[in-house]
Amino acid sequence: MTHVVTEPCVKCKYTDCVTVCPVDCFHEDAEMLVIDPEVCIDCGACIPECPVQAIYTEEDVPEQWASYTKLNADKTLELPVITEKKEPLAKDDK
């Protein structure tokens, strides 16, 4: 089982979740974070830390965001790991 970052994270990118991850499974691009399904240990620590409620267990991803499961897996192959909190994207960037 893994966790999945979904649509609410796009152009938002709060990074509160990365600081509680015990296995450094988060990766980032210019607009959002993604979770590496091969590294995630399904601890759930990240879910309550996300202020926009963008993180779900794989089995609980809402249907309209089902494509984010594959997107997370694919993007982690090419993106750097993020382990420290950063400023979220400016609201003007949304």
User: Which residues on adjacent β-strands are paired with residue 26?
Assistant: 35
Band (91; pLDDT cuts 50, 70, 90): low
Residue range 35-69, pLDDT digits in tens: 999 999 999 999 999 999 999 999 999 999 999 99
pLDDT of residue 1: 83
The pTM is what?
A: 0.92
Are 86 and 33 in contact by the 8 Å Cβ rule? The answer is no
The sign of the torsion formed by the CA atoms of 10, 16, 19, 22 equals negative
CATH architecture assigned to 3-83: 2-Layer Sandwich (3.30)
**pLDDT over 90 at 71, yes or no:** yes
Q: How far apart are CA 38 and CA 55, in angstroms?
A: 16
pLDDT of residue 94: 43
